[in-house]
Amino acid sequence: MTALQLRVRNAIRNVGDGFKVGLVSGVGVFSVVSPGYASRYLTDVQLDTLARPLRIATVPFDDATTAGATVEWNSLNLTVQKVVDIRHRGQTIARTLVLAPT
């Protein structure tokens, strides 16, 4: 783990909310996003079929959540539509989970 990965992971842990995927706990920074913002990650066909509101969660680089998983957060069940690595100088420093209500 590099110094940057450690700093980003600690920042997410300090300000993020806890969530669960099955029996595995994680921490992420959650926010509601518009369909226009979500179109950076998903196609128009995918967006048209998803329930609203859409959310993203920024999680540490070593989070093992995969597309199709169900995230339990804040008494909501959200399905991971896509996982995108956030990279800096060739290394993954965090991951973005694109989420829709189940």
Instruction: Give the residue numbers spanning the domain of 79.
Output: 3-101
Domain count, the chain: 1
The per-residue pLDDT for 6 is: 98
17 sits in which H/E element: strand 17-21
pLDDT of residue 26: 98
Predicted local confidence at residue 11, as pLDDT: 98
| CATH number for the domain harbouring residue 70 | 2.40.10
pLDDT score of 16: 98
Please report where in the chains the tokens 């991971």 appear, as a residue: 80
Distance from C-alpha of 30 to C-alpha of 70, rounded to nearest angstrom? 15
Q: Would you state the structure tokens that stand for residue 53, as one six-digit string?
A: 């509101």
Quote the pTM value.
0.96
Distances from the Cα of 79 to the Cαs of 69, 89, 101, in angstroms? Answer: 6, 30, 6
3-57 confidence digits (pLDDT tens): 999 999 999 999 999 999 999 999 999 999 999 999 999 999 999 999 999 999 9
